[in-house]
Amino acid sequence: MGYDYAYNFDYGIWNDLWRFSVRASFISFLIGALVTVSFWFLFQKAGEPGWAAVVPFYNVYELFKITWGNGWFFLLLLIPLANFVILIITWVKLAKAFGKGGGWACGLIFLSAVFLPIMAFSENIVYVGAPGKEPPYNAGCGANGYQQQAYQDPYARQGYQQPPYQTPQQQNSSQRSAQNSEYFYQQGTAPSSGAKFCAGCGEALDDGAKFCSKCGRPRQ
């Protein structure tokens, strides 16, 4: 019986293809896991649940929610041909949502497996909101989702202006009576009209007098 060279040659080719497919599948699995973990942290930075990154379809919904401002826009991916353009715009919006420009958007489009982890694990890259939309209240930096923004005074949010700070000297402008050190009077207040006699000693009070000339009691 002769040696079948064709059989052994075909077997070697299939063996090489099998090894190549196993290695490619393993590398693809690692890249997919890295991208999933990256989206987990990106969702948390945007104030959304991180576990949404591992749920099919819901992860796409959350991606469009933090980029377009409305998660239901992911249905645009069902439009033939237009879905390719929508996907590119989504990467651009994702870069802007985290404060990055066109160069970073190109990196997300062509090297998403590299730029997504950098964006996810860098503490200097924070979520600033969907382009053209105000960021949600609980969005922010890091895995806890705290918003890093300047403190807004509650008076300003309601349309009021907070009164300026006054020193204790300005708040207490009362002065001590010269006749009686136990009494004080408020500076600039007009004396009440109608009282003709001192409530303490009964002495007659002159018009415009703030204190009793006899006992020093303030005029009432």
> Which of 92, 115, 148 is the last residue before a domain boundary?
148
In a domain, 201, yes or no: yes
In a domain, 164, yes or no: no
Taking 50 as the threshold, does the pLDDT of residue 153 lie above it?
no
Is there a contact between 198 and 205 (Cβ–Cβ < 8 Å)? yes
Are residues 23 and 99 located together in one domain of the fold? yes
Terminal-to-terminal C-alpha distance of the chain:
134
Number of domains in the chain: 2
In a domain, 35, yes or no: yes
Q: What pLDDT, on a 0 to 100 scale, did the predictor assign at position 170?
A: 47
Which range has the top average pLDDT, 31-45, 136-150, 197-211? 31-45
In a domain, 161, yes or no: no
Q: What pLDDT, on a 0 to 100 scale, did the predictor assign at position 134?
A: 58
- Render 80-92 in DSSP notation, one character per residue: TTHHHHHHHHHHH
Q: Give the phi and the psi of residue 184 in degrees, each rounded to 5.
A: -125, 155
- Rg (alpha carbons) of the chain, rounded to whole number: 38
pLDDT in tens, 21-79: 888 888 999 998 999 999 999 999 998 999 999 999 999 999 999 999 898 988 988 98
CA distance 122 to 110: 20
Q: What pLDDT, on a 0 to 100 scale, did the predictor assign at position 20?
A: 82
Are residues 83 and 21 located together in one domain of the fold? yes
In a domain, 158, yes or no: no
In a domain, 2, yes or no: no
Structural domain range at position 144: 7-148
What is the overall mean pLDDT for the chain?
74
In a domain, 91, yes or no: yes
Once rounded to an integer, what is the mean pLDDT over residues 194-217?
73
Taking 80 as the threshold, does the pLDDT of residue 167 lie above it?
no
Are residues 129 and 191 located together in one domain of the fold? no
Is there a contact between 185 and 216 (Cβ–Cβ < 8 Å)? no
In a domain, 191, yes or no: yes
